[in-house]
Each structure stands twice: as C-alpha cells, then as structure tokens.
Amino acid sequence: MLDSIRRVVTGHDEAGCSIVHFDGILPRRLGSNRRGLTELWNTDGAPIDSRAAGDRTELPFSLTPGAGGTKLIFFTVAPEDPQSDRAAEEKRAAAAFAAYNASQARPNTARHPWMHKTNTIDYVIVLEGEVSLLLDGDERDLKPFDVVIQRGTNHAWVNRGKQPALLAVVLIDATVR
C-alpha cells in the first residue's frame, strides 16, 4: 500500500512559471506496508517558498507538526493479530511512536496499546479497508470515505478485519486541552 503512493509536487521556476518539482513514489516510509506511515509533505519550520526545489519530506520526521505547521501523511493499520498478547503489542506501539519521534504522544494507553494524543487538529479519511476509531469512552466503525475530524483526543485505530486499511491524514498544529 504505502510502497505505491505516487506524489506530484508542483512549484515555480526562476521565471515564476509553474513546474513539477517531484513526481514519483514516496522515498521514505516508517514501519511496514501493513502498519506504518509515509509523509507526503509538511509545512514545518520557516515560511514555505514555492520556488524552493527542496523536498520537505527530507527533514527529520516527527509525527507532530512544528509550531504553526502541518503534515500530510498516509498510514496503514494492519489487522489485529489474535496471537499477539497485550505486552507484545505495547512493545510494538512504543517502538513505533519512538520511531515517529512521538513517544510523548502516548499519555494513556490503558484502553489499547496504540492509544495516542497529539496537539493537533486532524482531518482523517479512510481510503481502503475498515477500521475502528477507539476513544477513551467511545468507539466508531469506519469504512472507505468516512472522515474523522480529530480534535486532540486520545485515540487508537484498530483493524478487526482481514486486510490492511489505508488512511490519509492532515495534521494541523493546534493548542488542545
């Protein structure tokens, strides 16, 4: 899934004419094709110059955007493994969030090992497969083209099906309580 996502990034040449800066399969993925993520673009750091030819995804990766920034990420959620125990899944989740530079985003994993919370407003779209959104006190089953507006809440994505699910998310830096 993540290995075949094509990204076309436009910009401007020196004369101000519109051009394509990048066109191809995304160069970086964290995790696996079954449970991982790939960043398509971000607006972290200094003001964005549309004439700059650099690839924004070459910056060190962090799940959460910088102050005033955004992230566009595709991620996959693998089907739950019925043979996996809670301790093994907690270890996998902790390692994944460490790789995402987001260990601090796991304030309360009592309900599920993949629970996490970021200081962002997220627009999440289910593209393929089915997942359940777990919250501290609620749960919703989601199918392709369902959209979640995630407002800085503790949550996890759980796949009780047989095929990996693919989701797209735009994370927007925010102050959440």
- Domain 27-177 part of CATH 2.60.120.10: yes
Cα–Cα distances in Å, from 95 out to 60, 91, 146? 17, 6, 29
- Tell me the pLDDT band of 49, cut-offs 50, 70 and 90: confident
Q: What is the mean pLDDT of the chain?
A: 87
Angle subtended at Cα 69 by Cα 14 and Cα 105, rounded to the nearest 5 degrees: 145
How far apart CA 171 and CA 26 sit, in angstroms, is 18
Residue 28 has pLDDT above 70, yes or no: no
How far apart CA 154 and CA 51 sit, in angstroms, is 38
Q: Is the whole-model pTM more than 0.85?
A: no
* Other residues' Cβ atoms within 10 Å of the Cβ of residue 106: 18
- Who wins on pLDDT, 99 or 44? 99
Question: What does residue 144 show for φ and ψ, rounded to 5 degrees?
Answer: -50, 135
